[in-house]
Amino acid sequence: MPATAAAATETPNQVPHIRLSDGNSIPQLGMGVWEVDPKVTARVVRDGIDAGFRLIDTAEGYDNEAGVGEAIRSCGLPRGELFITSKLRNGAHDRDAALKSFDATMAALGLEQLDMFLIHWPVPAQDKYVEAWRTLVELQQQGRVKSIGVSNFNAEHLERIIGETGVTPVVDQIEMHPYFQQADKLEMLRHKGIAVECYSPLGHGEVLKDKVVEGIGKAHGKSVAQVVIRWHLQMGHIAIPRSVHAERLRENFDVFDFTLSDDEMRQMAGLDKGEAGRTGSNPATANFTF
């Protein structure tokens, strides 16, 4: 059962799209650029675009938005064929700081309008994420960004921003992979009509060593990474795997010519380790700024 408000529409050799609650649509498979060296970001993103990716996910805190912008300008594709996401840095939740940071993002990317902008983390100890969300709503109302959402938000953070503004994020970008499946959160997000976007979809590489997934891959003539990405797609997730290697980017995109069976999906579901599978920070206690 998809974890999003609307099921993806998939056709052979074409990235399916998820219809967001604001009426916009987002490619279900994209590429992330977290920890990609700014010096090689433009090349990596161009390689990804050449492989077929059209969703590019960056952030102010990655310090590589300029490289993404260079790739956008030099890739040869019309702007409308790309879906570009960035995220507000944790230290800029005040309205004035958020507006200034957004201006810097747009300058670095070289864009007039952003496809999606997210709050990167709630930073609960700072207690300014509602102000940050109001600012994103303002930017959307001005037409500077098409869709707005959040990243790393738990139920209590979502309840608060929705309750105080009346505006529901279209996306919550969260850590999600076979070892950390967050079933309770998926149900909550589905109920609210919020699409699930997965970072670290391969589990920081730990899942790539899994023998169960390896066996499923052999049955399809596919790599472990391809099986995991295919699992995300069939779960209804938006997935943004990362690689700096052109060959791996092509491999990550080559997931539309096979389907996991119901039994294989059950095997994947059985890999969940719960909280022990988390590899990143917990949003409830993550209070770092950047």
CA distance 105 to 88: 9
Catalytic (active site) residue 62:
yes
Coil/strand/helix, residue 263: helix
The per-residue pLDDT for 254 is: 97
Residues of the chain with pLDDT under 50: 1-7, 9-13
What is the model's pLDDT at position 204? 84
Q: What is the pTM of this model?
A: 0.94
For residue 132, the model assigns a pLDDT of 98
Whole-number percent of the chain with pLDDT over 90: 94
Q: What is the distance between the alpha carbons of residues 12 and 255, in angstroms, rounded to a whole number?
A: 10
Q: Produce one character per residue of 167-181: b if its CB has 16 or more CB atoms within 10 Å, e if not.
A: bbbbbbbbbbbbbbb
Chosen CATH of 16-274 out of 1.10.1200.10, 3.40.50.1400, 1.25.40.10, 3.20.20.100: 3.20.20.100
Tell me the two tokens of residue 4. Answer: 């999003």
Catalytic option among 62, 129, 179, 199: 62
pLDDT score at 8:
52
Identify the pLDDT of residue 141: 98
Find out whether 174 and 195 touch, Cβ atoms under 8 Å.
Answer: no
Beta strands in 236-288 (DSSP E): 238-239
Number of residues assigned to the chain: 290
pLDDT for residue 6: 41
Tell me whether residue 94 is exposed, middle or buried, using C-beta atoms within 10 angstroms of its C-beta: 0 to 12, 13 to 18, 19 or more. middle
Question: Considering only CA atoms, which of 252, 250, 273, 249 is closest in space to residue 176?
Answer: 273
